Amino acid sequence: MTTTRVRWAAVTGAAVAASALLAATGWLAPTAARLAGAREPGGCTVLQAENERDGAPTTLRLLSLPGGGTKRVTEAGYWINAMGYSAGQDVVYGVADGTRTGRYHGAHAVRIDSAGTVTDLGVLGRAGAEKPVWSPITGATAGAIDGDRWYVRQGSDLYTVDIDPAGRDYARVVHRTALRPVSLAVGVDDFAFDPADGLLYGVSATSRGGSSVVTLDPSSGKVAVVPGLRFPEGGAYGSVVLASGAVYATANHDGQRSVTYRLPRDGSGRATEVATGPSLVSGDAAGCFAEAPSPPPTTPPGQSSPPPTTPPGQSSPPPTLPEPSPKPPPRTEQPPAPPAPEPSPPPPPVEQPVVLPPSPSPAPAPAPVPVVTPTPAPPEPPATTHRARPQKETEPVVQDTGRRTEEKRRWGLAALLLVLGGGAAIAHGRRHR
C-alpha cells in the first residue's frame, strides 16, 4: 500500500470498464459525477487482496471510496499479502507465501501490473545472496512503498526491500529495523506510507493498541499511538490506506463479514462503515489511486469560453461544478469521442500506399505479353512473315491447282501429238526420197 496520489489508471480501466456495479457507485458515472466523487473527502480507488480461507488463492478486487463499490479483478493464483503500490513503476508489489499447490519454503516477491497479471520474481532473500532459498519475511502481513523502498513488516521487525529494477539487489532485503514497543508493533497487519511526514500509519489490534491508529518510523523503528484516532474493536485490520483527510481500514473478520471503515484524520468524527464483504482469513490493500484524470476531460470541454475568462476571477470552480452536472457533461463527452476515431483513419491511408508499391502486379502483366508475341516465332524471319500473309491469299489458288493440271495435261498431250506427227512426217519424207 501507499498513499501516493496517483491513479493506477490501467488496472482501474481494465477491471472497471464493463462494471455495472461500479457504474452504480459512480465509477462509471458521467464525467460530472466522477468529478464530484473525486472531490469528496477521501475519494480514491484501492486494490484489495482478499484471502477467504487458508491456502486458497488470493482474489484481487477494486474498492471505490468513499462509495464502497467493489469489482473483482482476478484470482491471482498466489497467497498474497503485504502489498505496496509503486507510483513510479505503476505496479503493485506483494509477498507470496505460496500457491494453490502449497506454501513456499521462502516467501516470493510478486509484481502485479496494470493489466492484473501477476509475475513471480523469485525468493525474497537477503541482498548479496546469488540464489537465495530462504526469506526472512515469510509470513509478512503489512507492506507499503516509498519510491524504490518497499517496507514490509514481519513479526516485530520492519524490512526494507529494494525494488529498483536497475539495481543489483532488486527484490532483495537490504535492511532490517527492530520495531519498539513490540506490544504495539505485532498488532499492525497493514500500514500506509505518508510522504508528508515520512511515517507509516496502521491500526494496532493488540490489547495495548485497542484498534488505535499508530505510526511506525522506518528510520528508528519507533511505534506510537495517534491520539484520538481509533477504529471499532473486534479483530485484525488487514487493509489500511490513507486518503485525503481520512484513514480507511478493513476489519478482516466482524461476525460473518469483513467491514471497511472511514475515519477522519483530524479526529472530527467516529469511524463509519462504508463497505462490507466476505469474512477473511487475511487481507491487504494498495492505494489510493486518486481519480485525478477524470477532471481534465471535463474542464477542456467547459473551457469553451467561460473558463479562460473566469480563472483570473477565481469564480470558475463554482460555475464549472454546476455546468458539468446538467446536460453539458454528456454533450461534452460526445466531442471527445469523435477525436478518438479521427486518429484511427490516418493509419489506414498510410497502410494503403505501403500495399500499393508491392502490388504493382501490372508490371508482371506486360511480361507475359512479350512472351505471347514470340509465340508466332516459327515464322520469325520478316520476309517469310510477309510471304506468309500472301500464302494465306494464295490458298484459294491452291484450290484451283486441279484445273491447271488438267490444262497442262491437255497441252502436254497436244505437244506429244505434234511431236509424233512431226516425226512421222519426217520419216515419210525420207522414204519417198
Give the helix/strand (H/E) hosting 84.
strand 78-86
pLDDT digits (tens, 9 = 90+) for 331-383: 443 444 444 444 444 443 333 333 334 444 444 444 444 444 444 444 444 44
Examine the pLDDT at 279 and tell me if it is beyond 50: yes
Residue 16 — pLDDT band, cuts 50, 70, 90? very low
Q: State the chain's mean pLDDT as an integer.
A: 73
* Integer CA distances (angstroms), 119 to 115, 325, 385, in order: 11, 42, 80
pLDDT at 132 over 70: yes
Q: What does the pLDDT average to over 255-284?
A: 95
Cell of 280: 477473511
At which residue does the C-alpha cell 462509471 appear?
Answer: 28
Which is more confidently placed, 318 or 420?
420
Phi-psi region of 4 (alpha: psi -120 to 50; beta: other; left: phi over 0): beta
How far from chain centre, in Å, is Cα 81? 24
3-state secondary structure of 393: helix
Q: Is-cis flag, bond preceding 288, omega within 30? A: yes
> What cell does 42 get?
477521501
Banded model confidence at residue 56, pLDDT cuts 50, 70, 90: confident
| pLDDT of 110 higher than 50 | yes
Q: By C-alpha distance, which of 122, 109, 113, 118 is closest to 159?
A: 109
Give 392 or 61, the one with higher predicted confidence. Answer: 61
Please provide residue 69's backbone torsions phi and psi, each rounded to the nearest 5 degrees.
-70, 140
Asked if residue 272 lies in contact with residue 291, where contact means CB atoms within 8 angstroms, the answer is no
Predicted local distance difference test score (pLDDT) of residue 422: 65
Residue 142: band (very low, low, confident or very high) from pLDDT cuts 50, 70, 90: very high
> What is the C-alpha separation between 144 and 10, in angstroms, rounded?
20
Rounded distance, CA 220 to CA 181, Å?
12
The residue among 214, 357, 192, 184 whose CA lies nearest residue 288 is 192
Residue 334 CA to residue 331 CA, distance in Å, equals 5
Q: Give start and end residues of each alpha helix (H) in 139-278.
A: 182-185
Peptide bond before residue 44 is cis, with ω within 30 degrees of 0: no
Contact criterion met (CB below 8 Å) for 1 and 83: yes
Question: What pLDDT score does 427 carry?
Answer: 57
The conformation of residue 334, written as its DSSP 8-state character, comes to T
| Domain with residues 9-295, CATH architecture | 6 Propeller (2.120)
Cell 506510537 locates to 224
* pLDDT of residue 196 exceeding 70: yes
> Which of 88-92, 120-124, 390-394 bottoms out in mean pLDDT, i.e. has the lowest?
390-394
What CA–CA distances, in Å, run from 200 to 2, 4, 295?
9, 13, 29
